[in-house]
Amino acid sequence: MTSFNLMAFLPELVLMAGALVLFFISLGESRARQARFAALMVAIATIAACACCLGQQALLFDGAYRVDLFSQILKLVFACGFALVLMLSGKLDDIRDDIRAEYYLFLTLSVSGLVMLMSCVDIITLVVALELSSFPLYLLVPMRRERKGQRSQMESAIKYIMFGIAANGIMLFGLSYLFGLTGTTSLPVMVEKLRPVVHTPLAIAGLAMTFCGLFFKLAVFPFHFWTPDVYQGASNETASFIASLAKVGAMAVLVRFVSLATPDNQTVVLLLTLLAVASMFYGNFIALIQKDLKRLLGFSGIAHAGYALIGLVTLDNAGYAAALYYIVGYLFMVLACFVVICKVSPDGANVSMDDLAGLHHRSPLLAVTLVVGIFSLAGVPPFVGFMGKLTLLSAALAKGHLSLVIIAVVNTAIAIYYYLCVVREACFRDAGGRPVIPLDWTMRGVCVLLIAGVLVLGIAPAPVIDAISSSLACVNLP
C-alpha cells in the first residue's frame, strides 16, 4: 500500500467538484436543464475516473481512508448506477421545476457519500460518509410534486427520517461498545483486538447494534418498515436510487463489519440466519397482495435483502463475494423495472398493475426490459438473479447451512407467483385503449444497457466474482 496518491482519489474529487458546480447552478432560477446536463457530465467523468484508478492504492487521514481494489470496483459500480439513474429520470416531471436543480445537487452529494463510504476503514470517517450519503435522500423524498388530495411524500419522508435517525443512533451505540472493547476506531486494528473477546456478550451486542444501521439501509426485517411507504411516496426517480445504489453501499459496509466476527462465531451466524429467514418470508408473503408496482418492489426488496444475507451467514470470503455479486446484479434488475415505471407514468404518478396492461403492444422494448428485470428478480436462468442465488446457495451449502438453503428455495418459489402476475399484465392483457409509449434514443439506450447488464452478469459471472473475491483480500487488513 502506497502513501497519499492524488490520482487514486480522482473519483471523489470529480464528484465533489461536480457537486460544487451544481450548487452554483442551483443558485439561479429555472436551470433544471443545465443541472441535468452537468450531473450527466459528472457521472460520465466519474466513470472515466474510476476506470483510470482501478489499479491505484493510497492512504489518507493517517490510514482512516484507504483506496484499494475493493473500494475501486464498488466506486465504478456506483458511477455506472448514478449515470443510469440520471438517464432514466428524464425530465423529472414529478419534481417542481423550481427545485429540479437542487434535486440533481442532492443526488450527486448522496453518490459522493456512497463513493467515500467504500474507502472508509475507520469508524469516524465511516459515520461521516454514511451521513453524507443519507441526509440528501431524506431531502429528496419530500421534493415530489404535490397532487390534489395526496401528500404521501411528506408522510414517507417523516418515516424515512425517523427510522433512519433511530437506526443510526443504535449503530453509534454499538460502535461505542466496539471502541470501548478495543480502544481504537480503525477497523483493521479492531479486527486484531476483537478476536480474543469476540465471543463475549459485550462484543456480540456491539456487533449486533452496529449491524442495525446497515440493516436499515438494506431494508432487512425488522428494520424494513420505511421501505414500501418510501417507495410509494417518493418520486419514481428517487425510489429507483434508494432501491439500488443505497443497498449496494449498505452491503459493502456490512461485509466489513461482519468480517470482524470469527468464522466459528455461532451467535452471529444465528442472528444473520434468523434475519435472513424473516426477511425472505415477510417480504414475499406481503408482496403477494400488492397492486401498486413500487410497493411490490419494496416488499420484494425486503425479500432480496434476506437472500443477500445468506452470503454473510457463511462468514467467509466466498459468501461475501456471492453477496456482493448478488447485490450488484440486483442493482441492474431493479433499475430495469424502474425504467419501465418511469416511462409508463409520464407525469410521475405511481403505477398500478393495471397500468401495465398491453405493454407489449404499447412499447415492445419496455415490455422486454420489464420481463428481463422481473424474470431475473424471480431467479430464472440465464439472468443474473438465477446465477446470484445459485452462488449464494452454493456458498451456504458448502458451510453446511442446508436448512437455510431449502428455505431460500421455497421463498423463490413463492415469489414466482407475484412476479408472473406482473408479466401477465404486461404481456397477456389487452391495452384497453391505453396510448403508445414513445421512447427517445436515450431511453432506448438505457433499456438496452440494462438488458445487457442483466444477461452478461448472468451468463458470464466468473470475471465479476473473481474480481470481487480478489478485492476482498484487502478488506480490514492492516
pLDDT digits (tens, 9 = 90+) for 315-374: 888 889 999 999 999 999 999 999 988 888 877 778 888 888 888 888 889 889 999 999
In the predicted model, what is the mean pLDDT of residues 392-396?
A: 91
Domain encompassing residue 3: 1-90+95-143
What are the φ/ψ torsions at residue 218 (nearest 5 degrees)? -85, -10
Does any domain span residue 272?
A: no
Does any domain span residue 24?
A: yes
Higher-confidence residue: 370 or 67?
370
Higher-confidence residue: 257 or 111?
111
Task: Give the burial string for 441-466 (b: 16+ CB within 10 Å, else e).
Answer: eebeebbebbbebbbebbeebeebbe
In the predicted model, what is the mean pLDDT of residues 94-108?
A: 85
Does any domain span residue 53?
A: yes
Give the separation between CA 48 and CA 267, rounded to whole angstroms.
Answer: 43
Question: Residue 227: is it exposed, middle or buried by C-beta count within 10 angstroms (0-12/13-18/19+)?
Answer: buried
C-alpha cell at 463: 470475471
Higher-confidence residue: 194 or 395?
395
Does any domain span residue 27?
A: yes
Predicted confidence band at 474 (pLDDT cuts at 50, 70, 90)? low
First to last CA, the chain: 10
Question: Is pLDDT of 20 > 50?
Answer: yes
pLDDT of res. 5: 67
pLDDT of res. 210: 86
Task: Give the burial string for 92-121 (b: 16+ CB within 10 Å, else e).
Answer: bbbbeeebbbbbbbbbbbbbbbbbbbbbbb
Higher-confidence residue: 418 or 434?
418
C-alpha cell at 347: 407525469
In the predicted model, what is the mean pLDDT of residues 409-420?
A: 92
- % of the chain beyond a pLDDT of 70: 97
Question: Residue 380: is it exposed, middle or buried by C-beta count within 10 angstroms (0-12/13-18/19+)?
Answer: middle
Give the separation between CA 465 and CA 478, rounded to whole angstroms.
Answer: 24
Does any domain span residue 305?
A: no
The number of folded domains in the chain is 1
pLDDT digits (tens, 9 = 90+) for 244-297: 888 888 888 888 888 777 777 788 888 889 999 999 999 999 988 888 888 899
Please state the pTM of the whole predicted model: 0.90
Across all residues in the chain, what is the average pLDDT? Answer: 86
Q: Within a 10 A sphere around the Cβ of 147, how many other Cβ atoms?
A: 14
Predicted confidence band at 212 (pLDDT cuts at 50, 70, 90)? confident
Predicted confidence band at 147 (pLDDT cuts at 50, 70, 90)? low
The kind and range of the H/E element at 60 are: strand 58-60
Largest CA distance in the chain: 68
Does any domain span residue 114?
A: yes
Q: Which of 60-64, 191-195, 300-304 has the highest mean pLDDT?
A: 300-304
Looking at the DSSP bridge assignments, the partners of residue 66 are 59
pLDDT of res. 235: 85
In the predicted model, what is the mean pLDDT of residues 14-23?
A: 92
In the predicted model, what is the mean pLDDT of residues 379-383?
A: 88
Does any domain span residue 42?
A: yes
In the predicted model, what is the mean pLDDT of residues 33-56?
A: 88
The kind and range of the H/E element at 66 are: strand 65-67
Predicted confidence band at 151 (pLDDT cuts at 50, 70, 90)? low
pLDDT of res. 334: 92
Predicted confidence band at 46 (pLDDT cuts at 50, 70, 90)? very high
Does any domain span residue 30?
A: yes
pLDDT of res. 291: 87
Q: Within a 10 A sphere around the Cβ of 354, how many other Cβ atoms?
A: 12
Predicted confidence band at 475 (pLDDT cuts at 50, 70, 90)? low
pLDDT of res. 414: 92
pLDDT of res. 406: 93
pLDDT of res. 2: 45
Predicted confidence band at 1 (pLDDT cuts at 50, 70, 90)? very low
Give the separation between CA 139 and CA 157, rounded to whole angstroms.
Answer: 8
In the predicted model, what is the mean pLDDT of residues 170-186?
A: 87
pLDDT of res. 150: 60
